[in-house]
Amino acid sequence: MKKLLLAVVLFVTTIASAQKGSVLLGGNVGFSSEKIGNTKAEDFEFSPKVGYQFTDNWTAGVEGSIVNSKITGFGKSETYKIGGFVRYSIPLSETFAFYTDLGAGYQNTSLNNAKGMYASLTPALFINVKRGFGLNFSIGGVNYDNLDGKNDPRQERFGFNFGKTFNFGISKNFDL
């Protein structure tokens, strides 16, 4: 875990010192709910990001996430994620931009102390409020998770959750 975090920090530092552009600071909060039979799962997520925009369209950086889950009949759990992301943005006007984030990294959940990897592809909309400060909106994406716990068999999940998840966030680009 420490080696992965150090490698990501060194990668971002190398990019930032080699390129001129802007630094992206942002974060999202999200909520998802799923019901299968009598079982209901609810997730609340906080996901901060910091990245370096090295062209008008490309940004690379570090992301993290804390997810609090509540599942009927199973109780509560927390999941922590740390990894990297790449963003491709397409400006639609001075006010609106469409972007897609591709993220991957390490995750750990409190449920049976399971550890594993994650990957996600999330399209979103950015609304520029004023001078690089804006609002982010997404309604899901495509994700992959694998977890291996102490007493449980290895779990692999592939999800397509458009319309099942709502994320709202803010971001700000700072010129260097």
Per-residue pLDDT reduced to its tens digit, 145-170: 999 987 777 889 899 988 777 889 99
Over 60: is that where the pLDDT of 111 sits? Answer: yes
pLDDT at 67: 94
pLDDT of residue 74: 82
Which of 23-27, 63-67, 105-109, 129-133 is the least confident region? 129-133
Q: Which residue has the higher pLDDT, 172 or 83?
A: 83
**How many C-beta atoms lie closer than 10 Å to residue 94's C-beta?**
7
- Backbone angle region of 164, left / alpha / beta, with phi > 0 → left and psi within -120 to 50 → alpha: alpha
> What whole-number distance in Å separates Cα of residue 123 and Cα of residue 76?
29
Nearest to 114 by CA among 142, 82, 80: 80
Q: Say what the pLDDT of residue 146 is.
A: 93
DSSP secondary structure code for residue 60 in this structure = E
Once rounded to an integer, what is the mean pLDDT over residues 34-63? 92
So what's the pLDDT on residue 112? 79
Mean pLDDT of the chain: 85
Highest mean pLDDT among 1-10, 17-26, 38-47, 166-175: 38-47
SS3 19: coil
Reported as a single tens digit per residue, the pLDDT across 13-31 is: 333 332 347 899 999 998 8
Is 90 exceeded by the pLDDT of residue 79? Answer: yes
Q: Flag whether pLDDT at 6 surpasses 70.
A: no
What confidence tier does 4 reach under pLDDT thresholds 50, 70, 90? very low
Provide mean pLDDT across the span 47-51.
95
CA–CA gap between residue 49 and residue 102 (Å, rounded) = 12
Bridge partners (DSSP) listed for residue 25: 50, 172
